[in-house]
Amino acid sequence: MMTVKKTIPYKLRTGIPALMLAGATLFGGCNKEDIEKHDVDLPWSCGYYEQITSANVQRHLDDPSVGNVYLHLYQVDPDYASKEWTKWTAEDIHHKLYGRTLAPLVGKDPNRVFGRGNFEFARGVCPRADSLWFTQHGWTVNQNQR
């Protein structure tokens, strides 16, 4: 019975691992350049929702140069805005503001879509679950009434 021995010459046995190691170090240099990311602030207020449409938020999320998207509750005239928010009922807050507007937008990417600004509802009107949801996602509720 004949056995076949595979022997590699000494020069190749020492040279191949050295070449593999040198080649492996070059793979790290082939990375793409990192794109510098910036955050986007989308202003909106009571009665002004044009900037926070679903398509606009999705467009910013699809842009690789955008880090986070902030839905910024902007108040041009604080007196007007606070008067408008105090007219909202608990059902309006839950169904219109939370259910139809903000929750679907934040749900697009909860790790990148956040809120900013302060809601000034009438005292005791905002349901507790909605108030907690607003604060967990970056807004404040009745901060000026404390």
pLDDT tens across 94-125, in order? 999 999 999 999 999 999 999 999 988 888 89
pLDDT tens by residue, 27-75: 665 566 677 899 999 999 887 888 889 999 999 999 999 999 999 998 7
Yes or no: say if 100 and 136 are a contact pair by the CB < 8 Å rule. no
- Do the domain assignments include residue 76? yes
Inside any domain, residue 30: no
Domain membership of residue 47 (yes or no) is yes
Beta strands in 38-127 (DSSP E): 38-44, 66-73, 113-116, 118-119
Within a domain: residue 80?
yes
> Does residue 25 lie in a domain region?
no
User: Is residue 43 in some structural domain?
Assistant: yes
Structure tokens, 30? 């082939």
Query: Model-level pTM?
Result: 0.71
Q: Is 19 domain-assigned?
A: no
Which amino acid, 138? G
* Domain extent for 46: 38-145
> d(Cα 113, Cα 57) in Å, to the nearest integer?
9
* The token pair that represents 47 in the structure block: 């009665």
Number of compact structural domains in the chain: 1
Residue 23 lies in a domain: no
Q: Could you count the other beta carbons within 10 Å of the beta carbon of residue 51?
A: 16
